[in-house]
Every structure is written in structure tokens, then in C-alpha cells.
Copies of this chain bind each other. A is one copy, B any other.
Amino acid sequence: MSITAADVLAAAERIRGLVRRTPVVRAEANGIELYLKCENLQDGGSFKLRGATNFVRSLDAAALARGVMAYSSGNHAAGVALAAQRSGTKARVVMPLDAPKVKVENTASFGAEVITYDRFTQDREAICKALAAETGATIIPPFDSLITIAGQGTAALELLEDAPDLDALVAPVGGGGLMAGCCLIARQRSQSIRLFGAEPELASDTWQSLQAGEHRSIPPSETIADGLRSPSPGKLTFPVMKEHLEAIALVSEEEIRTAVRWLATKVHLVVEPSGAVPVAAVIHGKLPADVRRIGVIVSGGNIEPSQLAAILA
């Protein structure tokens, strides 16, 4: 089953009114115009509510009643928790022990049950599957599902509606759900728009995979961009990215911190490291010089206050 832009358009219909239409904020750096799609202002604090809502709203009544589950470093957990709460069902989420406290609390605040695991020694997918088998709950995949990908793509759809005539679009790449969904809808709306991904140097699994032309995996990563630590691109997302991406820009940890600081002090937006990764790519000149008007998916804002304080101090 292959995914197309039509799936993104169907998702947009399905989630209408259940997900916030976030603002697009214009900013400028080194003469480049950035159109920031502010998913840091999304309910739950990230774009993840889009895919989760698309998934929850695709379940039949019986499945919905049995509840949903997810494994996630944070934002997908919160997205699933909030989507479940808004649809009157239960969510259980499996989160790493070292997930940012702000993300665990955020998830719990939407009524989800949080189960923790050690991401260096335990397999979150196996834990999640075992628990789901007990209850009959549906696991909502964080990225490698047609329905999840289609939901995430609605962020780019709205961005392109609000900011037409962009030269290019850039999004952060973790497992690739957001990036793949954005690629599909952006290419459908414009044959000429240039599509870029952005990854931390410390979690360059998709960059490596694109270089190799096939899936590559990396060991657990310590990048501060905690939402982009997935070890490899998805089975569904990778072919889409391979077809559509011109390149993936890699940014250092220091460049990510500088972007978080720039967003807070110059644009007045609080953005988490993962969401600042594509901004880092733009302001540090990692994209081709002839890209002048660029849409940027600012994927989330759930940063630990102490971490933001340290970056600003």
C-alpha cells in the first residue's frame, strides 16, 4: 500500500477542528526569509497531535473502546494521550526513563498512563506489543504508518496555504513521519518547491541511509534533539524521503543550541532542540545559497525549562 498526497488531504478533513491551525511567523536571517510553521504552539506542544488524531479518528468504535498505546521519547506520547482524551478513550504510553521530565508530565497531564523503560537495554516496541496483547489496545506507530504520516503532512499543507511561493521547505527528520508527509503534500502542490530534511550530526541515520541508498542504523544517540534520536528511518518513510529530498542538512549540537537561543531572543518563540534543528540548518548556511524564501516546520516547544535557561544564560 503506497501513500500519496491524497492521504494527507483526507487527514486534513478528518482532523479539522480537532487540531489547532498554528500560525506561520515570518523571520529573517542573513537576508533569507523564514516562514516558521509554529507547531511549538500546537496543542500538546508539537505536531504529533496531527498524526495521533488522524489515527485515533480512523479507528472503529470497538477498537476505540479498547484504548490506544504508544512508545515514544515524549511528543508522540503526548500527542496520543491528548488525541485519546479528546476522543473519550484511554491511552497507555511507554516512555524512556531519561525522557525529558517536561514531556512525561505533559503526557500524564492528558490522562495517559505512563510506563517507563531503559532505552539502552530494553526494546520499547516489544514492551508495547506485550501490553497491547493483554488489553486489545491499538498501538499508534510514531512514524511508520500511512495514517500517521498522512496526519503529520497536514502541517506542511497549512504552511503552504498560508505562505505560497516558497522556494523550499525544510523539516526535522527523526523516523521520517513528518518529513515524508510534508514531502508528499508539498510536491503535489508545487513541482518546483525544493525539499530538505535536517538532522543532528549525532543522529544522522537518515543522512547515512540516503548516502548508502538503503537503510542504515545508528546506536542510541545522545543529541540534545531528543525527538530525533530514532536509530533508523522507517520502512514506509524512507522511500518517500529518498524520492523527494534534495538533501539532508546536518547540524552540530552547538548550532542547535544557537538556533534555540536565536528563536527565543530574536523571534520570541520557545522551541525545543528538535524543532530548532531545521532553523539551525537555515541560519548556519547549510542549505544551498539560492534558497531565499523557505518554509520551516518548527516541530515542537517542549523543552525542559532548566535546559532553556542554560542555553540563554
Contact = CB atoms under 8 A, between A and B. Distances in A.
Contacts of A310: 309
Contact of A305 (B38, B267, B270, B312): B312
A310 to B, nearest CB: 8
Nearest to A310: B309
Contact of A313 (B102, B267, B306): B306
A222 to B, nearest CB: 23
A312 B312 CA distance: 10
A180 B112 CA distance: 46
Contacts of A306: 312-313
Contacts of A40: 268
Interface in A37-80: 38, 40-41, 45
A3 interface: no
Contacts of A26: 20
Nearest to A300: B268
A271 B23 CA distance: 17
Interface residues of A, number: 25
Contacts of A23: 23, 25, 38
Question: From DSSP, what is the main secondary structure of chain A's interface residues?
Answer: helix
Contacts of A45: 268
A219 B45 CA distance: 42
B308 A312 contact: yes
A311 to B, nearest CB: 8
Contacts of A313: 305-306, 309, 313
Contact of A268 (B265, B270, B309, B312): B270
Interface of A: 20, 23, 25-26, 38, 40-41, 45, 102, 261, 264-265, 267-271, 301, 305-306, 308-310, 312-313
30 contacts: A20-B26, A23-B23, A23-B25, A23-B38, A25-B41, A40-B268, A41-B267, A41-B268, A41-B269, A45-B268, A102-B265, A261-B305, A264-B270, A264-B305, A264-B308, A265-B270, A265-B305, A268-B269, A268-B301, A269-B269, A269-B270, A270-B270, A305-B313, A306-B312, A306-B313, A309-B310, A309-B312, A309-B313, A312-B312, A313-B313
